[in-house]
Structure 1
Amino acid sequence: MLILSFIIILLFVLTLCFSLFTGNTMFSPLKLWNDFIQGQSNTTEYRIFMYSRLPRTMAAIAAGAALAVSGTLIQAVLNNALASPNIIGVSSGAGFFALLSASFFPMYPGLVPISAFWGALLTSMLIYLIAVKTGASRITLILSGVAISGILSAGIDLITILYPDDVIGATGFMVGSFSGITFSSLFPAVFLIGIGILFAFVFSYDLNILALGESTAASLGLRVSSLRLLVITVSALLSGAAVSFAGLLGFIGLIVPHICRALVGHDYRKLIFYAAAIGAIFAMLCDSLGKLLFAPFEVPVGIVLSFLGSPFFLFLLFAKKRGRIYE
């Protein structure tokens, strides 16, 4: 486990440097360091680093960690390895409410992350209510989420048509992108993400008990319904905060939990930590690839994630036996 942790830390540092110092304008860390030491804050390289590369990389770290942990929590509480914030419609709910806030209350940009959280929470609760009331199977639950996501996506399209001036940059929001992010728009969401990940660690032991089965967990004194409600709320907080600045990013919450389970097993005390770290690495890597693959043209990170995530989702469908979707 120490070796794995060392490898993850090394990969994080390498990916961080790759994200910070690659793009349309290439410059060396040594040149940037010399400018910083000499107080030359007006150089082109320094401005690009401070006002473009650094907030963009921080956004990738925050969104990747948040969506990966959110996906881990959703898969745990729904007992379904095909669940993730984008697939079951949680991200669409966050995006819909975020655009509503931007359209009707443009003078209060601080409402966007809060609105995204409530959108994610209400969507999560609706999906969970469907599962409870209908006794839906895991595949039916996924299909219900896809249907809800379709309705919310139609609502997002309607808002962008009716209020085009208030929803500037909606194309990037719909696809998912870290381009143009500033520190002022990032910090409120990062604060919420930090709280969400902290609570995820708090509930990790209870999630291990829940994994034993509902009846066993209840016999051990665990309040299953209360735990599910709390975990869904934390998951909504994470996905909503990420959507508020990164847009409708997909598949991080699906791919990363599977990678983590293959590496460290099913102990959520380890899973949540590694999901946050690998999610951040994965988001930074995909964003860097988007900057370099078709340079000087830039591909939004959401497109790169879709190219990687869609085949992975199909692989899960074909690899698992019907009715046994969870590992």
Structure 2
Amino acid sequence: MALALCVLSLCSLFIGVADLSLSSILDDPQVLVVSRLPRTLAALLTGASVAVAGVILQLLVCNRFVEPATTGTSEAAILGLLAVTIWAPAWPILGKMAVAASAALIGTFGFLALTRKLPPEQPLLIPLVGLIYGGILGAAATFVAFQADLIQYLGVWMSGEFSGVVAGRYELLWLAGGAALLAYLAADQFTVAGLGRSASLSLGLRYHQVLALGIVTVALVSALVIVTVGVLPFIGLVVPNVVSRVMGDNLRESLPFVAGLGAGLVLLSDMIGRVVRYPYEVPAGTVFGIIGAAVFLQMLLGRRSYA
């Protein structure tokens, strides 16, 4: 996986409208330093952090069909970003990120409150309720954006693309990578939390503290990614399920592979988007959304239970 990521990263540096060769890099490294390298790093950090956020949320909810984009977390973060754009447009990017993260945190706790009222013997109800809940929040965001003439901004936040990533506009994603690393340090606790509240408490786990840590991590990653590149659907849903089918549910062992596979798939989707309609670009979120939607439907309609 490490070798594949290195190869993909190297190929990514040389794909784009501007001609970039070894000789041109030696003459003028500006394109490489300002555009191609930040874009490649942003794709890797985004894919890794979103995939890790997805597997954490799945363990906390005890359901394999959920991720931030199907539980209202992303839509809540967009609502927070809309609010700060309307009422405090001059705020620095860190302030906007903090508001978006707070809104994502509230939205995620709202989803968890809804799941507590669902019968545990009906696991498919959780993702369906999450989609409805997210749809309601998304409709509210669209209404607010329409009233404030911010539909164009909403489209950018929902697209999940890396064309605008340059040096100085992606560094917040290192915080998302740090949140993913923090999740690895608490991997054993998240694994135990995935057994359910009752089993976790009986094993001596401080369940509520672990739950709070996980939800804060998910909200922070969602806000950082949306502020920087937009929504990337299905990464946090598909990647953890693929890895768990091969490696099981021991998060300590599987989390590096979840992060690596997520990073590789996002970078690959971005590269495909750059070449499929060259010299124009298709957003990476659209490219992976097509694949992810098909896999998600197969998971919902397949015979095997992933809950």
Q: TM-score, normalized by length of structure 1?
A: 0.86
CA contact (8 A) 2:52 2:255 kept: yes
> Structure 1 pair 21/123, CA: closer, same or farther in 2 (3 Å)?
same
Inter-partner Cα distance in structure 1 for 2:303 and 2:182: 31
Partner of 2:296: 313
Measured after TM superposition, the shift of residue 300 of structure 1 is 1.0
Q: What is the Cα-based RMSD across aligned positions, in Å?
A: 2.0
Measured after TM superposition, the shift of residue 139 of structure 1 is 2.1
2:239 corresponds to 1:256: yes
Which blocks of at least 5 consecutive residues in structure 2 are unaligned? none
| Letter aligned with residue 156 of structure 1 | A
Which blocks of at least 5 consecutive residues in structure 1 are unaligned? 1-7, 36-40
Partner of 1:186: 170
Partner of 2:14: 21
Partner of 2:139: 154
Inter-partner Cα distance in structure 2 for 1:113 and 1:320: 41
Partner of 1:117: 101
> Structure 1 pair 79/217, CA: closer, same or farther in 2 (3 Å)?
same
Inter-partner Cα distance in structure 1 for 2:270 and 2:60: 29
Measured after TM superposition, the shift of residue 176 of structure 1 is 1.5
> Structure 1 pair 205/145, CA: closer, same or farther in 2 (3 Å)?
same
Map 1:168-247 onto structure 2 (within 5 A).
Answer: 169-187=153-171, 189-247=172-230
2:302 corresponds to 1:325: no
Inter-partner Cα distance in structure 2 for 1:99 and 1:14: 38
1:285 pairs, out of 268, 289, 292, with 268
Alignment length (residue pairs): 305
Inter-partner Cα distance in structure 2 for 1:95 and 1:254: 19
Partner of 1:132: 116
Inter-partner Cα distance in structure 1 for 2:283 and 2:181: 29
Partner of 1:84: 67
Identity %: 29
Inter-partner Cα distance in structure 2 for 1:222 and 1:50: 46
Measured after TM superposition, the shift of residue 309 of structure 1 is 0.7
Q: TM-score, normalized by length of structure 2?
A: 0.91
| Letter aligned with residue 146 of structure 2 | I
Please give the per-residue CA displacement for 1:175-226, whole angstroms capped at 9, x wherever unaligned. Answer: 2111112333322x22431331122012211122234444333222112233
Most deviating of 13-22 and 112-121: 112-121
Partner of 1:5: none
CA contact (8 A) 2:190 2:251 kept: yes
Q: Which runs of 4+ in 1 moved over 3 A?
A: 133-137, 166-170, 211-216
> Structure 1 pair 211/60, CA: closer, same or farther in 2 (3 Å)?
same
CA contact (8 A) 1:80 1:138 kept: yes
2:288 corresponds to 1:295: no
Inter-partner Cα distance in structure 1 for 2:118 and 2:301: 26
